[in-house]
Structure 1
Amino acid sequence: MKTRRGLLAVVAAVGLWLALSLAAFGAEPIKIGLLAPITGFAAADGESMINSVKLAVGEVNAAGGVLGRKVQLVYYDDAADPKQAVPLAQKLIKQDRVVGVVGGSYSMPSRAVAPIFDDEEIPFIAAYAIHPDITKGDYTFRNGFLGAVEGQAAAYTAVKILKGKRIAIITSDNDFGRTLAEGFKKYMKRNPSDAQLVLSLTYPMSEKDFKAYLAKVKEANADVVFASGYYFQTGPMLKQAREMGITAKFLGEEGADSPKTIEIAGKAAEGFVIVTNLNRDDPRPVVQKFLKEYRKRYKTEPDMVGASGYDAFMVLVDAIKKAGSTDRKSVRNAIAETANYNGLTGIIRGFDRDGEVIKPVQVQVVKDGKFRYLAMVDNPAIITPKLAAGDD
């Protein structure tokens, strides 16, 4: 009789636990915002961002959600336009009442919305936008690389890995391009060697014909070209360069980390090197699981944009779990205390006082039509944001 009563008590306890758990999971979801360029010139990046973060949301909810509640992704299309991004940021705050926001867009819209989220004390993690102004607020963080870090990593790659002696820069004339070029030149100035910068050119965002710029590269007899730009710029540039008989090694950055670059450039993409966020050959389970699932679900190759968004979302979720609350200040503090996080884009050692991520820079090369591992830049003077951005 006692055994039966004991069994009934256990069953009742389990039933109560299940009821409470189901009630909690059926509670109002935790809303996390996302702004991404779903339409416009950067639509391919926006698609990658949405696809990747949706994978992350599915994983989190399949594992029981956060604090016993489902996570709801609230996302809007900012078309990489600051004028569109600002009212959408206000909508996420006032209408959707999000706990935190993933910045899945470019530097200009991210710069525009970061102060808005900071004023409202809403944690904001820029997934890959590089401009230094983005992280000026206490509630703003960057999971991607600061421009000074990525630019210097590119220069290190040009000199130390590609063994360039006569180096040229061709970069887009916007926040993204200018910031990267500044970092590249800073490394060259700080680390004098027999390598020299023989040419530095900028082109407008709308440029499609790069032959005039490439003719100057050919004339300067450059052996390494830092071709900084987005996939829709770098792809055509690579193709035109090879058509002109230019044999120099071409080096890009995260803006060209897209299957679209290879699709546009075709065979001219072979040997193209980039400094970026994602190592496709990283053996860690978190990386290989993501790559496999992304390819299976979306029938295309993943890129650093999506991987960076996935990480930004997961870091935010991890912070909510550690805070044990959706209190914005507690979540913000938990993000700031992140240490040795096993991220998709590398081991995130932490965020500095300015909200800048500290992690190695990945170097990939196009081999047989796919981005593969070439090297990793782990030099503290380059990957530590304060050191990289410091005045000379």
Structure 2
Amino acid sequence: MPVPSRISRTTSKITSKITRRLLLAAAAAAALSAPAFAEDTIKLGLVAAMSGQSAKSGEAIVRGLSLALDEINAKGGLLGKKVELVVRDDESNPAKGVVAARELVQREKVAALFGGLDTPVSVAIVPFANQSKVPFMGVWAAGTPITRNGAAENYVFRVSAVDVLVDKALVDYAIKKYSAKKPGMILINNPWGESNEAGLKAALADKSLAYAGIEKFQDADVDVVPQLTRLKEAGADVLFMVANVAPSSQVVKSLDRMGWNVPIVSHWGPAGGRFSELAGPSSERVHFIQTFSFSGKLSPKAEQVLAALKAKYPAIKTLADVTPAVGIANAYDAMHLTALAIAKAGSTEGPKIREAFYAIDKYDGLIKSYSKPFSPTNQDALTSEDYLFTYFKEGEILPLTN
């Protein structure tokens, strides 16, 4: 029996070697095929608040981007490839936003980034985007320094409001609607508040209008009565408010406790979530700026997008369910404009896409018909003419006639 034993051992060794070779060959094939498969799609990334008080806004942005992507892919995608969206939650935290942006660029190899809700997060991502030469498209955050960042080669574009323009609109509205003579400011204490403080001061100076005072407050503050009391004692006849959902609701509730029925003219922070629920009935007193509304008479394009929204997201039953509309509309137009740039560039290389943004001639969008929306001296596609004022009514954001 010794001979068969040696044969068995030899056969076992040969089989083992063959198995190892096959495994190595399979692993090598998998390693080679993985990048090839990845190249079959073009990835685009989104960094936005998908949890916390602003989750509703993040959801709206995803819906707008996804609707546009459906249309793009239905027409064959870009550069002959399907386009996919990779989403990361920044939790409204600048440090987490930068980590997410790095992962999307360096690991996921996205051709472009879309950036979400919070100005502090977007401001933190801007230097990385410019250094990496990856186009960064803003779809919500309005801080002026996001696009006007001073970079020699600026890779940051935006389809959204811009603080410096919003502040002029807020001042004009307060004068026209409320005959404001001495407005006060109640501003969130972060870079977004700072951006609007500078913009409001400049806009008021242009009108030779004095302000009663400037008060700051924190995201976590539950009582803003001391700050509001100082503004009241200083003679404020209108309040300019800049803050997101939860802190804005605390301002309204503090005013209720004081019994001070002062008009509130706000940036669009309250639109980003459950403001009417958190602030209560007095939420209807707040007049805030927007770039789009699905309420009222709609264009054929808006009718088409609304129908697609309802078809894709069956949970949408009423117009209150598409709040905030700006997140959907800004993101929808931004995705189509980015797709146009990639198609014009004929490439997913950042520098080529950046130059192609400047070459876009026209695009018939949801918010408006765009004509040469970007240039090296202006990387914001929307102007003050694209703003409207709105308010909450039973959970729905309705346009105001001013």
Q: What TM-score, normalized by structure 1, do the two folds share?
A: 0.80
Q: Which residue of 2 aligns with 1:372?
A: 398
User: Residues 127 and 305 of structure 1 are in contact (CA less than 8 Å); yes or no, is this contact kept in structure 2?
Assistant: yes
Q: Which residue of 2 aligns with 1:171?
A: 187
Structure 2 runs not aligned, ≥5 long: 1-36
Q: Please tell me the residue identity of whatever aligns with 1:365.
A: T
Structure 1, residues 61-110: CA drift from partner, whole Å, max 9, x if none?
23332233211111111212222122222222222111111112422221
Q: Which residue of 2 aligns with 1:320?
A: 342
Q: Please tell me the residue identity of whatever aligns with 1:313.
A: M
SS at match of 2:220: coil
Which of residues 24, 44, 66 is equivalent to 1:54? 66
Aligned-residue offset at 1:292:
4.6
How is 1:203-222 mapped onto 2 (pairs within 5 angstroms)?
203-222=217-236
Q: Please tell me the residue identity of whatever aligns with 2:76.
A: G
Q: Which residue of 2 aligns with 1:18?
A: none
SS at match of 2:113: strand
Decide whether aligned partners of structure 1 residues 33 and 225 sit closer, same or farther in structure 2, where only a CA change above 3 A counts.
same
Which of residues 104, 128, 145 is equivalent to 2:140? 128
Q: CA separation in 2, counterparts of 1:224 and 1:161?
A: 10
Aligned-residue offset at 1:251:
1.0
User: Residues 342 and 348 of structure 1 are in contact (CA less than 8 Å); yes or no, is this contact kept in structure 2?
Assistant: yes
Q: Please tell me the residue identity of whatever aligns with 1:307.
A: A
Matched, 1:158 2:182: no
Which of residues 362, 368, 371 is equivalent to 2:387? 362
Q: Which moved more, 1:308-317 or 1:352-361?
A: 352-361
User: Residues 57 and 273 of structure 2 are in contact (CA less than 8 Å); yes or no, is this contact kept in structure 1?
Assistant: no
Q: Which residue of 2 aligns with 1:148?
A: 164
User: Residues 150 and 361 of structure 1 are in contact (CA less than 8 Å); yes or no, is this contact kept in structure 2?
Assistant: no
Decide whether aligned partners of structure 1 residues 52 and 167 sit closer, same or farther in structure 2, where only a CA change above 3 A counts.
same
Q: CA separation in 2, counterparts of 1:361 and 1:231?
A: 23
Matched, 1:182 2:198: yes
User: Residues 116 and 139 of structure 2 are in contact (CA less than 8 Å); yes or no, is this contact kept in structure 1?
Assistant: yes
Matched, 1:351 2:374: yes
**Structure 1 vs Structure 2 CA RMSD:** 2.6
Q: What TM-score, normalized by structure 2, do the two folds share?
A: 0.79
User: Residues 46 and 88 of structure 2 are in contact (CA less than 8 Å); yes or no, is this contact kept in structure 1?
Assistant: yes
Q: Which residue of 1 aligns with 2:263?
A: 249
Q: CA separation in 1, counterparts of 2:334 and 2:76?
A: 19
How is 1:1-392 mapped onto 2 (pairs within 5 angstroms)?
28-135=40-147, 136=149, 137=151, 138-192=154-208, 196-280=210-294, 281=296, 283-294=298-309, 297=313, 298-299=315-316, 300-303=321-324, 304-349=326-371, 350-354=373-377, 355-359=379-383, 360-366=385-391, 368-369=393-394, 370-374=396-400
Q: CA separation in 2, counterparts of 1:367 and 1:230?
A: 15
Answer with 1 or 2: which has the greater Rg.
2
Q: Please tell me the residue identity of whatever aligns with 1:374.
A: L
Q: CA separation in 2, counterparts of 1:236 and 1:348?
A: 38
Structure 1, residues 22-75: CA drift from partner, whole Å, max 9, x if none?
xxx997011111111112443332222223322222232233322332111111
User: Residues 249 and 272 of structure 1 are in contact (CA less than 8 Å); yes or no, is this contact kept in structure 2?
Assistant: yes
Q: CA separation in 1, counterparts of 2:178 and 2:355?
A: 41
User: Residues 259 and 301 of structure 1 are in contact (CA less than 8 Å); yes or no, is this contact kept in structure 2?
Assistant: no
Structure 1, residues 254-308: CA drift from partner, whole Å, max 9, x if none?
2122352222223212242112222334622333333454466243233123332
Structure 1, residues 162-182: CA drift from partner, whole Å, max 9, x if none?
322231111111111121122
Q: Which residue of 1 aligns with 2:11?
A: none
Decide whether aligned partners of structure 1 residues 215 and 269 sit closer, same or farther in structure 2, where only a CA change above 3 A counts.
same
User: Residues 174 and 205 of structure 1 are in contact (CA less than 8 Å); yes or no, is this contact kept in structure 2?
Assistant: no
User: Residues 151 and 182 of structure 1 are in contact (CA less than 8 Å); yes or no, is this contact kept in structure 2?
Assistant: no
Structure 1, residues 334-373: CA drift from partner, whole Å, max 9, x if none?
2123345333333444124242334224222326433222
Q: Which residue of 2 aligns with 1:10?
A: none
SS at match of 1:351: coil
SS at match of 1:270: helix
User: Residues 127 and 142 of structure 1 are in contact (CA less than 8 Å); yes or no, is this contact kept in structure 2?
Assistant: yes
SS at match of 1:357: coil
Q: Please tell me the residue identity of whatever aligns with 2:279.
A: A
Structure 1 runs not aligned, ≥5 long: 1-24, 377-392
Q: CA separation in 1, counterparts of 2:386 and 2:201?
A: 18
* Percent of aligned pairs with the same amino acid: 25
Q: CA separation in 1, counterparts of 2:217 and 2:50?
A: 25
User: Residues 53 and 245 of structure 2 are in contact (CA less than 8 Å); yes or no, is this contact kept in structure 1?
Assistant: no
Count of aligned pairs between the two proteins: 350
SS at match of 2:197: helix
Q: Please tell me the residue identity of whatever aligns with 2:173.
A: T
Q: Please tell me the residue identity of whatever aligns with 1:357.
A: A
Q: Please tell me the residue identity of whatever aligns with 1:309.
A: A
Q: CA separation in 2, counterparts of 1:282 and 1:186?
A: 35
Q: Which moved more, 1:115-124 or 1:215-224?
A: 215-224
Decide whether aligned partners of structure 1 residues 327 and 110 sit closer, same or farther in structure 2, where only a CA change above 3 A counts.
same
Decide whether aligned partners of structure 1 residues 38 and 334 sit closer, same or farther in structure 2, where only a CA change above 3 A counts.
same
